[in-house]
Structure 1
Amino acid sequence: MQSMTGFGRGEARNEHVEITVEVSSVNRKSLEVGVSLPRDWQSLERDITEAVRGCALRGKVSVYVQVRKGAQGGGLDWDDEKVLSTVRRLETFAHDHGMTIAPDGDLLLRVINSLDTGSELPEADAAKPLLMQAVGAALEGFAAMRTSEGEALKKDLLERLAFLEDQVVNMRAVAEEVVPTYREQLFARLQKAGLELELEDERVLKEICLFADRADISEELTRLSSHIEQFRATLEEEGAIGRKMDFLCQEIHREVNTSGSKANQIELTRIVIDCKNELERIREQAQNVE
């Protein structure tokens, strides 16, 4: 089980270039991959995307590739006027649109790398092995973090499922008292109204039977227990399980809601509210699962 959020960083270098790759992801219903590469290496975007697809099934994954000239390349080379002009244009744009911008070292480096500074990069085909080495290292850390967070989510979800299971037991106990309680209340109302009817009277028994049929939640509780067990089993499955978990949350909510509506009893209503609150927390956690 994996979380949809994660981060990984990888580096690779030779005598010509130093490559740093950062991979990060946030929640999405499907897999979206965005790759930021130097213009000369745009042809390698597909290779990076396929590598990401090999370790992620859902989420919005961003891959940022930063390239520096190696030790033998004489360091970074740039045109001062081009860099200054670009930064000033960014400041003007930000001001015109009501934003603020504070140029720092990271922004300057990005500007320098984005400009055609005359520093030649290796051809894409020649750079591919080194680039994919850095990508592989970044994805390894990325996958490890998603797995680690997934284990934490799993532990939390198991605890919450255990709470729901305890509440189902409580609901069964309360449900068993619903009909006897109604029978006593009915008889008390009949006596208060001055009606001389016994509990064994056919009309009274019919009314009690009709109420018992309407208030019976045994089927709902059976399905509820089944859904919770399926949810627990889903946590042990491989692959993308987030959508299945979301579906099971909907089914659990349906059965809990129906149980509260059919067996209109104060104690049961309290349990239903507790279940809904806990289920909402489960649903929020499930949104983070791949």
Structure 2
Amino acid sequence: MIKSMTGYGLGTKGNQKVKYTVEIKSLNSKFLELNLRLPKAFSDKELTLRSECSRLIERGKVNITVNVEYVDQSAAAATINAELLKNYYRQLEAIAVELGTAKGNLFELALNMPEVVSHYEEEADEEEAALLMGAFQEAVGQLDLFRKDEGEVLRQDLSSRSAEILRLLGEVETVETDRIPLIRERIRQYMDETVGKENVDMNRFEQELVFYIDKLDITEEKVRLRSHCNYFLQALEAADANGKKLGFISQEMGREINTLGSKANHAGIQQVVVRMKEELEKVKEQLLNVL
């Protein structure tokens, strides 16, 4: 089963005190590019979450945001160290009197002094850590479902395009029936016109003709291309997500199609090859988003 690298997941877990919401957004990338935003209280969980992302998400440009919402808003409120604030204010007031300056903004200055205002940064307990991991697992689960749904759409499109390449290969086999006789006749006419029929050593001519036509033979390319297309279709139905494998197979398909076109020496076949290349380019574009 193939999966898309594009996805979205949202997970929420909470208790009477706090609620954690984990949001995951994923786009395509060759590797796992993880941007993780955690509350400071969970900084010790970052390595664990990164390890889980590597195992569960595998690849993609992934943004994970964790939001904390307190049921009791006073629990998240900042606290003011009143004694320290008074001490700062008295010192500033004394300096202002000594220097003879205005006292208008002394309170604001004292309030902004170090350690006067402290925000809630208490370390989370095990219960809260379990809530966070539960929300994360739920978000990953939704992300995976999203990726599977998108992957099914990609699978259908990739399957139809590889089947179309196989159908076009059948057209090549139909068109090429008169290819070798036409090449043989064209060369014979050229020899007759340039050196004269009576001056041609027919034994030597047939030997050279066989050697030349053998170079133009596309039987191996057709067999390999059909094999690669069938293998591609087989890999699409595999149980694991294998975007890289499909990418390698598509490269081999491209090589055989290119060789087919260069060796064809036939306008009809080359036109079919152009259509094959168009389908293959669309396949490669879609594979950029396959996990």
Helix, strand or coil: the match of 1:246?
A: helix
What is aligned with 1:249? Answer: 250
1:73 corresponds to 2:69 = no
The residue number in structure 2 matching 1:220 is 221
Regions of 4+ moved over 4 Å: 197-200
Deviation at 1:9, TM superposition (A): 0.7
Deviates more, 1:221-230 or 1:232-241: 232-241
Q: Distance in 1 between matches of 2:258 and 2:252?
A: 10
Give the C-alpha shift of residue 214 in structure 1: 0.9
Whether the 8 Å CA contact 2:216–2:264 is kept in 1: the answer is yes
Q: Compute the TM-score of the two structures, normalised by the length of structure 2.
A: 0.79
Aligned residue identity for 2:253 = I
Q: Which deviations, in whole Å up to 9, do the C-alpha atoms of 1:159-212 show, x marking residues without a partner?
A: 101110011112223333221011221233344447125999223322321221
Question: Contact 1:4–1:146 at 8 Å: present in 2 too?
Answer: yes
Aligned residue number for residue 109 of structure 2: none
3-state secondary structure, aligned to 1:185:
helix
Deviation string 1:125-165 (CA, Å, 9 cap, x unpaired) is 34111111211221111110000000000000001011100
Cα distance, 1:118–1:184 mapped onto 2, change above 3 Å: same
Structure-2 residue corresponding to 1:119 = 120
Query: TM-score with structure 1 length normalisation?
Result: 0.79
Gaps of 5+ in 2: 80-116
**Does residue 59 of structure 2 align to residue 55 of structure 1?**
no
In structure 1, what residue type is equivalent to 2:60? G
The 5-angstrom pairing of residues 257-276 of structure 1 reads: 257-276=258-277
> Does the aligned pair in 2 maintain the 1:246–1:286 contact within 8 Å?
yes
Instruction: Note the alpha carbon deviations across 1:86-132, whole angstroms, 9 max, x for none.
Output: xxxxxxxxxxxxxxxxxxxxxxxxxxxxxx86235562534111111
Larger mean Cα displacement after TM superposition, 261-270 or 116-125: 116-125
Give me the whole-angstrom Cα distance separating, in 2, the residues matched to 1:40 and 1:194: 91
Contact 1:41 1:124 in 2 (8 A): no
The answer for the alignment partner of 1:202 in structure 2 is 203
| Aligned residues: CA RMSD | 2.4
Structure 1 residue 61: Cα displacement:
2.1
Q: Taking every aligned residue pair, what percent have the same amino acid on both sides?
A: 32
Which structure's CA Rg is the greater one?
A: 2
Cα distance in 2, alignment partners of residues 36 and 4 from structure 1: 20
Alignment of structure 1 residues 173-184 onto 2, 5 Å: 173-184=174-185
What are the Cα deviations for residues 37-69 of structure 1, in whole angstroms up to 9, with x where unaligned?
011211112332333334322222221101121
Q: Which secondary structure does the structure 2 equivalent of 1:64 belong to?
A: strand
Q: 1:223 to 1:50 in 2, by over 3 A?
A: same
Aligned pairs (5 A) from 1:1-290: 1-70=2-71, 72-74=72-74, 77=77, 118-121=119-122, 123-193=124-194, 195-197=196-198, 201-290=202-291
Task: Say how many residue pairs are matched.
Answer: 253
Q: Deviations over 1:213-234 (max 9, x none)?
A: 0100101111111111111111
Q: Does the CA contact (< 8 Å) of 1:183 and 1:208 recur in 2?
A: yes
